[in-house]
Chains A and B, each alone.
Chain A
Amino acid sequence: MSMEELIDQYFRPGRLPHIWCPGCGHGVVTGCIVKAVDKLALSKDEVAVVSGIGCSSRASGYLDFNTVHSAHGRALPVATGIKLADPKLTVIVVTGDGDATAIGGNHLIHAARRNIDMTVVLYNNSIYGMTGGQYSPMTPVHAKATTAPYGTIERDFNVAELVKAAGATFVARSTSFHAQMTTDLIAKGIAHKGFSLIEVVSACPTSYGRQNKMGGPADMMKWQRDHGVPMVAYEKLSAEDKLIKFPIGLLYEVTDAQEYTEAYEALIAAAKGGK
Protein backbone atom coordinates (compact mmCIF):
# COMPACT_ATOMS: atom_id res chain seq x y z
CA MET A 1 0.00 0.00 0.00
CA SER A 2 1.35 3.44 -0.83
CA MET A 3 1.98 5.94 1.96
CA GLU A 4 -0.95 8.04 0.74
CA GLU A 5 -3.27 5.03 0.94
CA LEU A 6 -1.95 4.20 4.41
CA ILE A 7 -2.78 7.71 5.60
CA ASP A 8 -6.28 7.41 4.12
CA GLN A 9 -6.78 4.04 5.75
CA TYR A 10 -5.33 4.56 9.22
CA PHE A 11 -6.00 8.25 9.88
CA ARG A 12 -9.38 9.56 10.93
CA PRO A 13 -10.94 11.33 7.97
CA GLY A 14 -10.86 15.12 7.85
CA ARG A 15 -8.25 15.54 10.60
CA LEU A 16 -5.36 16.79 8.48
CA PRO A 17 -3.46 19.10 8.51
CA HIS A 18 -2.35 18.08 11.99
CA ILE A 19 -1.60 20.48 14.84
CA TRP A 20 2.20 19.98 14.88
CA CYS A 21 4.42 22.94 13.96
CA PRO A 22 6.18 23.30 10.60
CA GLY A 23 9.09 20.86 10.53
CA CYS A 24 8.10 18.98 13.70
CA GLY A 25 9.35 15.40 13.47
CA HIS A 26 6.26 13.95 15.13
CA GLY A 27 4.38 13.56 11.85
CA VAL A 28 7.14 11.32 10.52
CA VAL A 29 7.08 9.16 13.66
CA THR A 30 3.29 8.81 13.55
CA GLY A 31 3.60 7.78 9.90
CA CYS A 32 6.08 5.11 11.00
CA ILE A 33 3.57 3.69 13.51
CA VAL A 34 1.00 3.36 10.73
CA LYS A 35 3.53 1.68 8.43
CA ALA A 36 4.53 -0.74 11.20
CA VAL A 37 0.89 -1.69 11.90
CA ASP A 38 0.35 -2.23 8.18
CA LYS A 39 3.52 -4.30 7.93
CA LEU A 40 2.19 -6.64 10.61
CA ALA A 41 -1.22 -6.76 8.84
CA LEU A 42 -3.11 -5.89 12.03
CA SER A 43 -6.71 -4.79 11.68
CA LYS A 44 -7.75 -1.45 13.19
CA ASP A 45 -9.93 -3.26 15.73
CA GLU A 46 -7.00 -5.29 17.06
CA VAL A 47 -5.00 -2.21 17.99
CA ALA A 48 -5.40 0.18 20.92
CA VAL A 49 -3.37 3.40 20.97
CA VAL A 50 -3.07 5.16 24.32
CA SER A 51 -1.42 8.52 24.81
CA GLY A 52 -0.78 10.93 27.65
CA ILE A 53 -0.52 14.68 27.27
CA GLY A 54 1.82 16.75 25.15
CA CYS A 55 2.64 17.32 21.52
CA SER A 56 3.33 13.63 20.84
CA SER A 57 0.18 12.54 22.58
CA ARG A 58 -1.96 14.34 20.03
CA ALA A 59 -1.23 11.39 17.71
CA SER A 60 -4.03 9.33 19.27
CA GLY A 61 -6.56 11.84 17.97
CA TYR A 62 -5.44 11.36 14.39
CA LEU A 63 -5.13 7.59 14.36
CA ASP A 64 -8.22 5.56 13.54
CA PHE A 65 -7.74 2.71 16.01
CA ASN A 66 -9.25 2.17 19.45
CA THR A 67 -7.72 5.21 21.10
CA VAL A 68 -7.53 6.91 24.49
CA HIS A 69 -6.02 10.36 24.99
CA SER A 70 -5.49 10.00 28.73
CA ALA A 71 -4.15 12.24 31.51
CA HIS A 72 -0.62 13.64 31.73
CA GLY A 73 1.88 10.85 32.38
CA ARG A 74 -0.91 8.30 32.79
CA ALA A 75 -0.90 6.58 29.40
CA LEU A 76 0.83 3.51 30.81
CA PRO A 77 -1.65 2.82 33.66
CA VAL A 78 -4.56 3.21 31.21
CA ALA A 79 -2.78 0.95 28.71
CA THR A 80 -2.10 -1.58 31.47
CA GLY A 81 -5.82 -1.69 32.28
CA ILE A 82 -6.72 -2.19 28.63
CA LYS A 83 -4.15 -4.95 28.17
CA LEU A 84 -5.27 -6.81 31.30
CA ALA A 85 -8.93 -6.54 30.29
CA ASP A 86 -8.24 -7.90 26.82
CA PRO A 87 -4.75 -9.38 26.42
CA LYS A 88 -5.44 -10.14 22.74
CA LEU A 89 -5.26 -6.44 21.89
CA THR A 90 -2.08 -4.94 20.50
CA VAL A 91 -1.45 -1.98 22.79
CA ILE A 92 0.69 0.91 21.59
CA VAL A 93 1.53 3.78 23.93
CA VAL A 94 2.38 7.12 22.38
CA THR A 95 4.20 9.44 24.74
CA GLY A 96 6.83 12.15 24.90
CA ASP A 97 10.03 12.69 26.85
CA GLY A 98 8.35 14.81 29.53
CA ASP A 99 5.14 12.78 29.68
CA ALA A 100 6.98 9.46 30.02
CA THR A 101 9.97 10.31 32.20
CA ALA A 102 8.80 13.20 34.39
CA ILE A 103 5.06 13.21 35.02
CA GLY A 104 4.75 9.50 34.27
CA GLY A 105 8.23 8.44 35.32
CA ASN A 106 7.06 6.11 38.05
CA HIS A 107 4.51 4.43 35.77
CA LEU A 108 7.24 3.94 33.18
CA ILE A 109 9.62 2.04 35.43
CA HIS A 110 6.87 -0.13 36.87
CA ALA A 111 5.33 -1.03 33.51
CA ALA A 112 8.85 -2.00 32.41
CA ARG A 113 9.41 -3.97 35.63
CA ARG A 114 6.21 -5.98 35.10
CA ASN A 115 7.19 -6.72 31.50
CA ILE A 116 3.60 -6.23 30.36
CA ASP A 117 3.17 -6.81 26.64
CA MET A 118 2.85 -3.37 25.08
CA THR A 119 4.89 -1.11 22.83
CA VAL A 120 5.86 2.37 23.94
CA VAL A 121 6.83 4.79 21.20
CA LEU A 122 8.55 7.65 23.01
CA TYR A 123 8.74 10.75 20.81
CA ASN A 124 11.78 12.51 22.21
CA ASN A 125 11.87 16.16 21.14
CA SER A 126 14.03 17.07 24.19
CA ILE A 127 11.61 19.73 25.44
CA TYR A 128 8.08 20.49 26.63
CA GLY A 129 7.01 21.92 23.27
CA MET A 130 3.30 22.47 23.77
CA THR A 131 3.69 24.54 26.93
CA GLY A 132 6.41 26.77 25.53
CA GLY A 133 9.81 25.12 25.71
CA GLN A 134 10.52 24.24 29.34
CA TYR A 135 13.29 21.67 29.88
CA SER A 136 12.32 18.05 30.49
CA PRO A 137 14.30 15.24 32.16
CA MET A 138 15.55 14.35 28.68
CA THR A 139 16.72 17.81 27.66
CA PRO A 140 20.48 17.36 27.19
CA VAL A 141 22.52 18.89 30.02
CA HIS A 142 23.63 22.46 29.17
CA ALA A 143 20.93 22.89 26.49
CA LYS A 144 18.81 26.02 26.72
CA ALA A 145 15.12 26.12 27.54
CA THR A 146 12.71 28.86 28.58
CA THR A 147 13.17 27.64 32.16
CA ALA A 148 16.95 27.39 31.68
CA PRO A 149 18.03 30.51 29.79
CA TYR A 150 21.69 29.87 30.66
CA GLY A 151 21.42 26.16 29.88
CA THR A 152 20.07 23.42 32.11
CA ILE A 153 22.42 22.16 34.82
CA GLU A 154 20.41 18.95 35.24
CA ARG A 155 21.84 15.75 33.83
CA ASP A 156 19.47 14.08 31.39
CA PHE A 157 17.95 10.61 31.52
CA ASN A 158 19.12 7.95 29.11
CA VAL A 159 15.65 6.40 28.83
CA ALA A 160 16.91 3.28 27.06
CA GLU A 161 19.21 2.45 29.96
CA LEU A 162 16.52 3.44 32.45
CA VAL A 163 13.87 1.03 31.15
CA LYS A 164 16.42 -1.70 30.55
CA ALA A 165 17.47 -1.50 34.19
CA ALA A 166 13.82 -1.44 35.24
CA GLY A 167 13.10 -4.69 33.39
CA ALA A 168 11.99 -3.86 29.84
CA THR A 169 12.67 -6.73 27.46
CA PHE A 170 12.91 -4.81 24.14
CA VAL A 171 14.70 -1.47 24.00
CA ALA A 172 15.51 0.46 20.84
CA ARG A 173 16.31 3.94 19.63
CA SER A 174 15.89 5.67 16.29
CA THR A 175 15.28 9.15 14.90
CA SER A 176 12.74 10.86 12.68
CA PHE A 177 15.46 11.01 10.00
CA HIS A 178 15.94 7.20 10.14
CA ALA A 179 12.30 6.65 9.19
CA GLN A 180 12.65 3.16 7.73
CA MET A 181 14.58 1.98 10.78
CA THR A 182 11.91 3.52 13.02
CA THR A 183 9.15 1.63 11.18
CA ASP A 184 11.14 -1.59 11.45
CA LEU A 185 11.84 -1.19 15.15
CA ILE A 186 8.22 -0.34 15.97
CA ALA A 187 7.08 -3.43 14.05
CA LYS A 188 9.62 -5.58 15.92
CA GLY A 189 8.59 -4.01 19.22
CA ILE A 190 4.93 -4.82 18.55
CA ALA A 191 5.80 -8.39 17.57
CA HIS A 192 7.92 -8.77 20.73
CA LYS A 193 6.04 -10.40 23.63
CA GLY A 194 6.74 -8.14 26.61
CA PHE A 195 7.43 -4.51 27.38
CA SER A 196 8.99 -2.74 24.40
CA LEU A 197 10.21 0.82 24.27
CA ILE A 198 11.34 2.58 21.13
CA GLU A 199 12.78 6.04 21.75
CA VAL A 200 12.51 8.10 18.59
CA VAL A 201 14.59 11.27 18.57
CA SER A 202 12.29 13.83 16.97
CA ALA A 203 12.85 17.49 16.18
CA CYS A 204 11.17 20.50 17.76
CA PRO A 205 12.31 23.43 15.60
CA THR A 206 9.93 25.86 17.33
CA SER A 207 10.67 25.37 21.01
CA TYR A 208 14.01 23.54 21.12
CA GLY A 209 15.83 24.25 17.88
CA ARG A 210 15.34 27.99 18.00
CA GLN A 211 16.58 28.35 21.58
CA ASN A 212 19.58 26.15 20.91
CA LYS A 213 20.48 27.65 17.52
CA MET A 214 20.10 24.36 15.68
CA GLY A 215 18.91 25.95 12.45
CA GLY A 216 15.68 25.14 10.63
CA PRO A 217 13.70 21.90 10.36
CA ALA A 218 15.93 20.42 7.64
CA ASP A 219 19.08 21.26 9.66
CA MET A 220 17.65 19.48 12.68
CA MET A 221 16.89 16.42 10.57
CA LYS A 222 20.44 16.46 9.21
CA TRP A 223 21.69 16.71 12.80
CA GLN A 224 19.85 13.45 13.53
CA ARG A 225 21.41 11.87 10.44
CA ASP A 226 24.89 12.91 11.58
CA HIS A 227 24.55 12.06 15.27
CA GLY A 228 22.53 8.83 15.35
CA VAL A 229 25.00 5.98 14.81
CA PRO A 230 24.09 2.26 14.49
CA MET A 231 25.09 0.36 17.64
CA VAL A 232 27.96 -1.61 16.06
CA ALA A 233 29.59 1.51 14.62
CA TYR A 234 28.92 3.48 17.81
CA GLU A 235 30.95 1.04 19.89
CA LYS A 236 33.98 1.72 17.68
CA LEU A 237 33.79 5.51 18.12
CA SER A 238 36.35 7.43 20.18
CA ALA A 239 35.36 8.40 23.72
CA GLU A 240 35.06 11.99 22.54
CA ASP A 241 32.66 11.13 19.70
CA LYS A 242 30.60 8.91 22.01
CA LEU A 243 29.76 11.95 24.08
CA ILE A 244 28.24 13.90 21.19
CA LYS A 245 26.68 11.01 19.24
CA PHE A 246 24.18 8.39 20.31
CA PRO A 247 23.58 4.74 19.40
CA ILE A 248 20.52 3.76 17.36
CA GLY A 249 18.94 0.45 16.41
CA LEU A 250 17.91 -2.46 18.60
CA LEU A 251 19.82 -1.91 21.84
CA TYR A 252 18.58 -4.74 24.03
CA GLU A 253 16.25 -7.71 23.76
CA VAL A 254 15.38 -10.62 26.03
CA THR A 255 12.88 -13.20 24.86
CA ASP A 256 12.59 -15.62 27.77
CA ALA A 257 11.25 -13.32 30.50
CA GLN A 258 7.81 -13.89 32.03
CA GLU A 259 5.17 -11.61 30.50
CA TYR A 260 2.71 -10.02 32.92
CA THR A 261 -0.70 -10.87 31.40
CA GLU A 262 0.39 -14.48 30.89
CA ALA A 263 1.49 -14.67 34.51
CA TYR A 264 -1.88 -13.23 35.53
CA GLU A 265 -3.84 -15.75 33.42
CA ALA A 266 -1.76 -18.57 34.89
CA LEU A 267 -2.45 -17.29 38.40
CA ILE A 268 -6.21 -17.19 37.74
CA ALA A 269 -6.11 -20.74 36.41
CA ALA A 270 -4.13 -21.92 39.44
CA ALA A 271 -6.44 -20.14 41.90
CA LYS A 272 -9.44 -21.83 40.31
CA GLY A 273 -7.71 -25.15 40.94
CA GLY A 274 -7.79 -26.09 37.30
CA LYS A 275 -11.60 -25.89 37.16
Chain B
Amino acid sequence: MSLKIHLNRCKGCGICVAFCPKQVLAVSEVEKVEIVDESKCIKCGQCELRCPDYAIFVEK
Protein backbone atom coordinates (compact mmCIF):
# COMPACT_ATOMS: atom_id res chain seq x y z
CA MET B 1 0.00 0.00 0.00
CA SER B 2 1.66 3.22 -1.08
CA LEU B 3 -1.36 5.55 -0.99
CA LYS B 4 -2.98 6.37 2.33
CA ILE B 5 -6.42 7.96 2.25
CA HIS B 6 -8.34 9.59 5.10
CA LEU B 7 -11.90 9.26 3.81
CA ASN B 8 -13.33 11.32 6.66
CA ARG B 9 -11.30 14.33 5.48
CA CYS B 10 -11.99 13.92 1.75
CA LYS B 11 -14.63 16.23 0.28
CA GLY B 12 -14.52 14.82 -3.23
CA CYS B 13 -13.26 18.00 -4.91
CA GLY B 14 -11.46 15.95 -7.57
CA ILE B 15 -8.20 17.94 -7.56
CA CYS B 16 -6.09 14.80 -6.95
CA VAL B 17 -7.90 13.00 -9.76
CA ALA B 18 -7.27 15.86 -12.20
CA PHE B 19 -3.58 16.20 -11.37
CA CYS B 20 -2.71 12.48 -11.17
CA PRO B 21 -0.65 11.83 -14.31
CA LYS B 22 -1.44 8.10 -14.32
CA GLN B 23 -5.22 7.94 -13.74
CA VAL B 24 -4.81 6.10 -10.45
CA LEU B 25 -7.69 7.90 -8.75
CA ALA B 26 -11.38 8.66 -9.25
CA VAL B 27 -14.19 10.32 -7.32
CA SER B 28 -16.72 7.70 -6.21
CA GLU B 29 -20.52 7.92 -6.24
CA VAL B 30 -20.48 9.07 -2.61
CA GLU B 31 -18.12 11.91 -3.57
CA LYS B 32 -14.96 10.52 -2.00
CA VAL B 33 -11.66 9.69 -3.62
CA GLU B 34 -11.13 6.06 -4.55
CA ILE B 35 -8.21 4.13 -5.94
CA VAL B 36 -8.89 2.74 -9.40
CA ASP B 37 -5.55 1.12 -10.14
CA GLU B 38 -2.76 1.47 -7.62
CA SER B 39 -0.32 -0.53 -9.75
CA LYS B 40 -0.06 2.50 -12.06
CA CYS B 41 1.01 4.82 -9.22
CA ILE B 42 4.49 6.27 -9.72
CA LYS B 43 4.51 7.97 -6.28
CA CYS B 44 5.02 11.42 -7.83
CA GLY B 45 3.20 13.01 -4.90
CA GLN B 46 0.98 15.36 -6.94
CA CYS B 47 -2.14 14.17 -5.08
CA GLU B 48 -0.56 14.80 -1.67
CA LEU B 49 0.87 18.18 -2.73
CA ARG B 50 -2.42 19.47 -4.15
CA CYS B 51 -4.99 17.98 -1.76
CA PRO B 52 -6.46 20.91 0.23
CA ASP B 53 -7.88 18.53 2.84
CA TYR B 54 -4.81 16.48 3.90
CA ALA B 55 -6.82 13.44 2.86
CA ILE B 56 -4.29 11.60 0.70
CA PHE B 57 -0.64 10.81 1.37
CA VAL B 58 2.00 8.89 -0.53
CA GLU B 59 3.85 6.56 1.80
CA LYS B 60 7.50 6.36 0.91
Contact = CB atoms under 8 A, between A and B. Distances in A.
Interface residues of A, number: 28
Contacts of A25: 52
Nearest to B49: A179
A18 B53 CA distance: 7
Interface string A183-196: 00000000000000
A31 B14 contact: no
Contact of A17 (B14, B17, B53, B60): B53
Sort chain B's interface into a size bin: 20 to 34
B9 A218 contact: no
Main secondary structure of the interface of B (DSSP, over half): loop
Contacts of A24: 52
Interface in B1-60: 4, 6, 8-15, 17-19, 48-55, 57, 59-60
A105 interface: no
Interface stretch (A1-9, A69-77, A93-101, A156-164): A1-9
A22 B18 contact: no
A217 interface: yes
A35 B46 CA distance: 16
A26 interface: yes
Given A21-B11, A22-B11, 8 more contacts: A16-B54, A20-B52, A23-B15, A28-B50, A177-B50, A179-B50, A217-B15, A221-B50
Interface of A: 2-4, 7, 11, 16-18, 20-28, 31, 176-177, 179-180, 205, 216-218, 221-222
